[in-house]
Every structure is written in C-alpha cells, then in structure tokens.
Chain A
Amino acid sequence: DAGVTQSPTHLIKTRGQQVTLRCSPKSGHDTVSWYQQALGQGPQFIFQYYEEEERQRGNFPDRFSGHQFPNYSSELNVNALLLGDSALYLCASSSTGPGNQPQHFGDGTRLSIL
C-alpha cells in the first residue's frame, strides 16, 4: 500500500523562477493538502484540493497555486520565487470517507532559492 509520494525530493531555483512540485496521494485517498515548513517551524497550511477544486486556502499569496487531477494526484506551483520561499513543502492526503480521517504526509520536497 503506497504512502504519499512527492517529487522531486530536492530542488534548487533562483529568484523570479517558477517551480512545480508533485504529489501522489496514498491509495484510497481523494483529498490532498499542501503545507510549507520553514526551518525550525511547524508546517503551515497552503491549500487543500478535493474533486479537482481548491476547497480551502491558507494565508499565502496568489503566487502559490495548485491543481488536482482526476486520479487525485496534485501539483503545487509557485511563481516569481522569492528567497523566503525556501522551505520544505509537504503534501498530505486523506479520505473523505465516513468519520473524520487523519492526514498522511509525504517526505516533502526541499526547495532552495538562490
């Protein structure tokens, strides 16, 4: 049973560039959430996708956008990269099945901005 997989594991970009991060949810999960974890901090919620729609959004600028595909996988896009975007980006998946379902996290993509 595959867990949450993210790619790539590491990425180095320069200021002003654009980046796309990818996530495949755990088997049986249909909801994907993205988080940003700066060094020494807890993860911060970026947004959540369900049925290919953005369902909730955290306090992140429009430079951060996403997409969910029919197979439930998801992408996070960040435009006009800033130095402050350097962080670990985490994808989490969950199921909308009966009852509350906890989120399962991937290993993350480490994004470094030079």
Chain B
Amino acid sequence: AQSVSQHNHHVILSEAASLELGCNYSYGGTVNLFWYVQYPGQHLQLLLKYFSGDPLVKGIKGFEAEFIKSKFSFNLRKPSVQWSDTAEYFCAVDNQGGKLIFGQGTELSVKP
C-alpha cells in the first residue's frame, strides 16, 4: 500500500533559521507530489506541487521542494523562516488517480 512518511512531528526554529522538512513516499510508479500548509484556524492550502519536469519546484512564500526519484523523497525547504510560517505542513502523494495520500504532518513553530 502507498504511504507517506514525514520524519519530523514537531520542529521549533527561531526566525531567520533555515528549514528543511523531510518527506518520503512508497510507490513505485509515476506520482504527483504536493506540500500543503494549514495555518492555525485556516483550511489546507497548496504550497507547491510537482507533476513533471524540473525536480526543483518553487512555491508560494519562498518555499521550495526537491523531488529525488531515487530516494522517493520530496523535501520542503525555506532559507529563512518567519514567525508567520508557524503552521502544520503536510506532504501528499497522488498516483495520478486523484487520491491523495497524506503524511501525518509536521508542526512548525517559529519563535520571534
């Protein structure tokens, strides 16, 4: 069965620190990859997506992610976090059938 694993459950950073959130998936075929963010009290929002092409994708608010097919990974990065990045981050995989498989999420707390 397909699964998505997010390595960090809770990450605490100071403002201006760099961020990297790990995501690995298990599925051997072609996949679409996503990072969603859920700010406190808000709905899930799409941060970025990978369908094909350049494995380094850029999203909103300065986030980027790199798809490494050989490692089944899609890690999320941001060079310098802000207090407003405090949120829960979800990695998700779609085997192109429209069924999203989510990781369990990483809670990011940014201290001002």
Contact A41 B105, beta carbon cutoff 8 Å: yes
Give the chain A neighbours of B94 by CB distance below 8 A. Answer: 100
Of residues 83 through 108 on chain B, the ones whose CB sits less than 8 Å from some CB of chain A are 90, 92, 94, 96-105
Q: Does A58 touch B at the CB level, under 8 Å?
A: yes
Q: Does A86 touch B at the CB level, under 8 Å?
A: no
* Interface residue tally on B, bucketed by range: 20 to 34
Mask of A48-77 contacts with B, CB within 8 angstroms, 1/0: 100000011010000000000000000000
Stretch at the interface among B11-19, B42-50, B61-69: B42-50
Q: Give the B-binding residues of A (Cβ under 8 A).
A: 3-4, 31, 33, 35, 40-45, 48, 55-56, 58, 90, 92, 94, 99-100, 102-108
User: How many pairs of A and B residues are in contact by the CB < 8 Å rule?
Assistant: 58
Contact A100 B46, beta carbon cutoff 8 Å: no
Give the chain B neighbours of A45 by CB distance below 8 A. Answer: 99-101
Quick one: which of B43, B44, B101, B104 contacts A40, CB cutoff 8 A?
B104
Contact B51 A100, beta carbon cutoff 8 Å: yes
Give the chain B neighbours of A100 by CB distance below 8 A. Answer: 32, 51, 94, 96
Closest residue of chain B to A59, judged by CB? Answer: B1
Known interface pairs A100-B32, A102-B49, A104-B46; A33-B104 also in contact (CB < 8 Å): no
Quick one: which of B32, B36, B49, B102 contacts A44, CB cutoff 8 A?
B102
Cα of A107 to Cα of B38 in the assembled complex, Å: 10
Mask of B36-79 contacts with A, CB within 8 angstroms, 1/0: 10000011111001010000000000000000000000000000
